Structure 1
Amino acid sequence: MHILLTGGTGFIGCELIKHLTGHQITVLTRSPKNAKEKLRHADFSNIDYIDTLSAFTDLNHIDAVINLAGEPIAHKRWSEAQKERICSSRWVVTQQLVDLIKQSATPPYCFISGSAVGIYGDKKYQHIYENSKTASQGFPYSVCNQWEEIAKQAASDKTKVCLLRTGIVLGPYGGALKAMLPPFKLGVGGKLGSGDQYMPWIHIQDAARAIAYLLFSSKAEGVFNLSAPHPVTNHDFSQTLAKCLKRPCLFSTPRWLLNLIMGESAELVFDSVRAKPKHLTEIGFIFTFSHLEPALKQVLNNEN
């Protein structure tokens, strides 16, 4: 199978490529040279690197497209310029891919495209499934809603579309945990605000395995919550992380302070999304890490 992958050098993309070693992969990247170096762990002469889609007039030669490209949403404060980068990095490449798919006589049979649980907004204690009502306002919603609307245009009787509403991805060497670990290792970590907000999380191995599963499953189509079956509150996450590190969990960071530090992007920390992967489990996907403590222990063992 020939797979076109965007975001291949990202946190999930690097892991996903390990699960696709038996296939030909074309990675779209801004820097082929840097990508080759970063992906050397998984490149068995089955990866080509391109820095633009402009050479393609269609995707007749591609069997499937996995679209994970996007400026990290939580790394910087949301200035207007940063918001534009976040949006355009997702919307523009997705539209380019959709246009190429629609121009193909024999288009890719599968288009898997990113999104995030931020599309649901703050849902407090509600269980959130793929058919749950999304938010109607807020920056994370607007980013993800437009991203999904563009991707859905690729759907036809020849191309199935899968949308990934991804939670917090836990893995060594990157992601949200990289920012969380330093204070917890020093024994000064703790809950954020009240700690009552739910955090939908997923181990990076399960995130990559789930994407590969969607790629090859005949039942896979539509929206998927890419999160573990047992989301936890920020309080429980903090307590579990401290326990795994054998550190105390006595502190808390007040909401007003995070609002001051992070500005509008603090909503990523305080919005409560109790997302459940109903659609994934219905089509037969089995999680390796369903519960938080074993997931964190595995990640921390590999991080050291």
Structure 2
Amino acid sequence: MRVVITGGTGFIGSILTEKLKKKGHEVIIFTRKPSSHHNGVQYVQWLTDHASPENEAGHVDAFINLAGVSIDDGRWTEERKKQIRDSRMTATQEVLRIMRVLPAKPEVLVNASAIGIYPPSLTAQYTEESTAVGNDFLAKTVYDWEGLARQAAELGVRTVCTRFGIVLGKDGGALPLIKLPYQLFAGGKIGSGNQWFSWVHVEDVANAIIFSLENKAVEGPVNVVAPSPMHMNAFGKTIGKVLHRPHWFPVPSFAMKAALGEKSIVVLQGQHVLPQKLLANGFTFDYPSLRPALENLLK
């Protein structure tokens, strides 16, 4: 397949690109930098004045839309929240515009999304059939983002919204920040510790995207989380065991709110999310359990 990736040079996109290449897919990455070819990948300029990616890309079988300002970097000021939302909406609108003008429509759009669409809860369990939507900034952003992406279905394009959990990777995602207190012998319970932490190894994220790309039965929202979510306190204890560090220094909620502002909801509140659709369609996780995942990433 000829696969276009937006956000292809980022944390998830770079791993995904290598996996697609190994499987024999042809990868085209849309970038703001000048068009070029490098390491078997075609880079096509987009979202700049006078860029015409639809003319350079040629025939496209699939789009994977990962573009958007990271939610992990910096405090959620009003300006930052606008950047987070606008970057996702602008990129998705451009993907839709390109699809509309292509003479042959792609078979599938896999659009990034997040489990942050679900309301925080200590008791609810969310699958793709759950219709509840949160009322915070992240939930509203994800809801609108998915709604825009679903317009691709009007063009006859199979549309998948991959709702990522808390992605763990060696050099990206949430793990570098979470592990730091433990490396300094200051790790411990964050907030109540009872909030759910629906995590996923970045390798499984990339594999789940490719699985969604290649399997025509997969459509609509897809929860990309490991099948074993944990409470935050148990998650922290597991990090401590893997790093041989104590889990003893509690971080109260007010301290997290003071340090992170509104973004503190990402760690102080959580959702118990299950990957029902992936499992039902035969997807196999390389890292279904937390300890082997952390041992892979931290050692």
TM-score in terms of structure 2 length: 0.93
Shift of 1:225: 0.4
Which of structure 1's runs of 4+ aligned residues deviate more than 3 A? 56-60
Tell me how far apart the structure 2 counterparts of residues 126 and 177 of structure 1 sit (CA, whole Å). 25
- Pick from 42, 51, 54 the counterpart of residue 48 of structure 1: 42
Match for 1:217: what amino acid? Answer: N
Q: Give the gaps of 5 or more residues in structure 2.
A: none
Q: What letter matches 1:55 in structure 2?
A: S
Are the counterparts in 1 of residues 127 and 273 from structure 2 also a CA contact under 8 Å? yes
The answer to which of 106-115 and 51-60 deviates more is 51-60
Distance across 2 between alignment mates of 1:103 and 1:48: 20
User: Partner amino acid for 2:17?
Assistant: I
- Give, in whole Å, the separation in 2 of the partners of 1:50 and 1:275: 36
The answer to whether 1:84 aligns with 2:82 is yes
Letter in 2 for 1:300: L
Would you say the 8 A contact 1:60–1:106 is kept in 2? no
**Residue 116 of structure 2 contacts residue 138 of structure 2 at CA under 8 Å; is this kept in 1?**
yes
Matches within 5 A, 1:1-304: 1-21=1-21, 22-31=24-33, 44-45=39-40, 47-52=41-46, 54-57=51-54, 61-156=59-154, 158-301=156-299
Conserved? CA contact 2:45–2:53, under 8 Å: no
Give the total of aligned pairs.
293
**1:200 touches 1:232 (CA, 8 Å); kept in 2?**
yes
CA displacement at 1:44 relative to structure 2: 3.9
Any conservation in 1 of the 2:44–2:53 contact (CA below 8 Å)? no
* Whole-angstrom distance in 2 between the partners of 1:291 and 1:31: 39
SS at match of 2:20: coil
Q: Is the 8 A contact 1:28 1:51 kept in 2?
A: yes
Identical columns (%)? 35
CA RMSD of aligned residues (A): 1.8
Alpha-carbon displacement from aligned partner over 1:119-149 (angstroms, at most 9, x marks no partner): 1021222211011133241100111011100
Partner amino acid, structure 2, of 1:72: S
Instruction: Return the alpha-carbon distance in structure 2 between the equivalents of residues 281 and 102 of structure 1.
Output: 33
Question: 1 CA distance for matches of 2:8 and 2:155?
Answer: 27
- Cα offsets for 1:195-234 (capped at 9, x unmatched): 1000111011111111111111121111100100010010
Query: Which amino acid counterpart does residue 160 of structure 1 have in structure 2?
Result: R
TM-superposed CA distance for 1:184, in Å, is 0.6
8 Å Cα contact 2:72-2:173 kept in structure 1: no
Aligned-pair distance for 1:69? 0.8
